[in-house]
């Protein structure tokens, strides 16, 4: 059986460093917001090319705190509209509604799966305050188009970078430094994954960063002095240590992902299969390798019979979820087509070339 993802195998190469890291953490006697969090924040900000990194508890919390931070700055207020792609994972939209804001769902491009910038302008109203772009599956959204729209309409640009750690735009900037603020998830399955829940925010905005450092920790300015109403959304000290270990390997891990993706792109030759758009630069770090086909469930069952595990990211779009009944009647045909047709093939750093070739052979024989 070729597993879709083997986290134990992926993390086994870091075992010795993880144990050293944990022993150092244990012996430090400082288990919350200690040296490891501060060091990771410094290193990850430098990696992304930003002034600040704020370690938080998850990717959802990272997005929510960004929005709450802008509310405290007076940039957003209750009920303001945030433009967001309709085909994102539900966490992106949850952050908006959890912050008391209104999501405006925009169809994606069928070729890239990222938000279709050409469809945004008609949806901009006096209540629109931001575009929340998502680098879906590891592919960077249309940076120039979203930046220009935000400049023209005085909007905040926010990145959901949960699936694109280390991706580099055409102009050389890394994900996390393509907006006013970016949210990262370090969930274990991510390109840069912790061994539990973890997240971070990157920004160059000093005022926002100062607010976020307080917001994540009960709104505290100093011990027992709470300047604002905050949250408990701190990055765990031991997870920060594990992330420091893995950050050193992120670029090479992404290169391995890109190499596997290139094998798939060159090897899969089946007219029933639509392959992902393949830029010639580092704009795609292939958190997922997502194909499309008209009879997705049939293909999934076929590959399962061949001993190949696949997953669907994501079978039900946000506007069809029971949690968002108010959007259930929306007509979003491109989004619905994507969710009905996508299938993710195995792609991770523990995957061997002979396993990749077996997947290619099975897909081509379908």
pLDDT of residue 184: 99
Note whether residue 361 is domain-resident: yes
CATH code, domain with 13: 3.40.640.10
CA atoms within 13 A of residue 43's CA, in its CB half-sphere: 17
Q: Which of 191, 115, 112 lies closest to 159, judged by CA?
A: 115
Which of 247, 270, 294 finishes a domain? 247
Tell me the C-alpha distance between 174 and 168, whole Å.
Answer: 4
Same domain, yes or no: 324 and 192? no
Same domain, yes or no: 240 and 270? no
CA atoms within 13 A of residue 153's CA, in its CB half-sphere: 23
Q: How far is CA 168 from CA 8, 64, 319, in A?
A: 28, 25, 31
Same domain, yes or no: 51 and 181? yes
**Domain span at 193:** 7-106+113-247
User: Per-residue confidence of the chain (366 residues) as pLDDT tens digits?
Assistant: 999 999 999 999 999 999 999 999 999 999 999 999 999 999 999 999 999 999 999 999 999 999 999 999 999 999 999 999 999 999 999 999 999 999 999 999 999 999 999 999 999 999 999 999 999 999 999 999 999 999 999 999 999 999 999 999 999 999 999 999 999 999 999 999 999 999 999 999 999 999 999 999 999 988 899 999 999 999 999 999 999 999 999 999 999 999 999 999 999 999 999 999 877 777 999 999 999 999 999 999 999 999 999 999 999 999 999 999 999 999 999 999 999 999 999 999 999 999 999 999 999 999
Which of 219, 247, 275 finishes a domain? 247
Letter string b/e over residues 147-167, b meaning 16 or more CB atoms within 10 A of that residue's CB: bebbeeeebbbbbbbbbbbbb
Same domain, yes or no: 45 and 56? yes
Q: Give the phi and the psi of residue 56 in degrees, each rounded to 5.
A: -135, -175
DSSP character for 107?
Answer: P
For the record, the structure tokens of 314 come out as 């994501």
DSSP for 149-209 reads HHHHHT-EEEEE-TT-TT-B-TTSPBTTSSSSEEEEE--TTSSS--SS--EEEEES-HHHH
Q: Is 325 exposed, middle or buried (0-12, 13-18, 19+ CB in 10 A)?
A: exposed
Same domain, yes or no: 29 and 50? yes
Same domain, yes or no: 277 and 344? yes
Same domain, yes or no: 297 and 202? no
Same domain, yes or no: 79 and 149? yes
DSSP for 270-298 reads -TT-BPPP--SSSSB--SSEEEE-TTHHH
- pTM for this model (two decimals): 0.97
Same domain, yes or no: 213 and 271? no
Same domain, yes or no: 184 and 286? no
Q: Are strands 220-222 and 225-226 parallel, antiparallel or unpaired?
A: antiparallel
pLDDT of residue 282: 79
Same domain, yes or no: 162 and 311? no
Helices (H), the chain: 7-12, 15-28, 35-48, 59-72, 90-98, 143-153, 206-215, 237-247, 250-267, 296-305, 333-341, 353-365
The answer to whether the CB of 85 falls within 8 A of the CB of 105 is: yes
Same domain, yes or no: 16 and 80? yes
Which of 190, 224, 247 finishes a domain? 247
CATH code, domain with 264: 3.90.1150.10
Tell me the C-alpha distance between 272 and 294, whole Å.
Answer: 8
């Amino acid at each position: 059986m070729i597993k879709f993802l083997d986290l134990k195998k992926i993390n086994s190469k870091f075992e010795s460093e993880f144990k050293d890291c944990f022993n150092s953490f244990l012996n430090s006697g400082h288990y919350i917001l200690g040296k490891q969090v501060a060091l990771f924040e410094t290193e990850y900000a430098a990696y992304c090319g930003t002034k600040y990194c704020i370690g938080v508890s998850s990717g959802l919390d990272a997005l929510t705190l960004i929005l709450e931070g802008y509310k405290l700055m007076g940039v957003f207020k209750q009920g303001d509209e945030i433009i967001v792609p309709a085909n994102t994972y539900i966490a992106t939209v949850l952050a908006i509604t959890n912050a008391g804001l209104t999501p405006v769902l925009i169809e994606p491009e069928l070729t890239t799966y990222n938000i279709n910038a050409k469809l945004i302008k008609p949806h901009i109203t006096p209540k629109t305050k931001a575009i929340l772009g998502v680098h879906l599956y590891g592919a960077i959204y249309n940076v120039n188009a979203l930046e220009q729209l935000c400049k023209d309409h005085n909007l905040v640009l926010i990145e959901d970078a949960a699936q694109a750690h280390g991706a580099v735009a055409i102009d050389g900037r890394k994900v996390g430094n393509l907006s006013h603020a970016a949210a990262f998830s370090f969930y274990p399955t991510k390109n840069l994954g912790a061994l539990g829940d973890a997240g971070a925010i990157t920004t160059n905005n000093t005022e926002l960063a100062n607010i976020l450092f307080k917001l994540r920790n009960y709104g505290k300015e100093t011990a027992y002095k709470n300047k604002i109403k905050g949250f408990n959304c701190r990055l765990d000290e031991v997870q920060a240590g594990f992330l420091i270990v893995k950050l050193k390997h992120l670029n090479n891990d992404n290169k391995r992902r890109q190499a596997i993706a290139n094998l798939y792109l060159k090897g899969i030759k089946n007219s029933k299969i639509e392959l992902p758009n393949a830029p010639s630069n580092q704009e795609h770090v292939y958190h997922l390798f997502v194909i499309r086909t008209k009879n997705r469930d049939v293909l999934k069952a076929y590959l399962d019979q061949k001993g190949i595990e696949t997953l669907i990211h994501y079978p039900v779009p946000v506007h069809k979820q029971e949690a968002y009944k108010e959007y259930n009647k929306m007509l979003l045909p491109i989004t619905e087509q994507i969710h009905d047709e996508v299938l993710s093939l195995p792609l991770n750093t523990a995957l061997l070339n002979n396993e990749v070739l077996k997947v290619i052979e099975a897909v081509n024989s379908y």
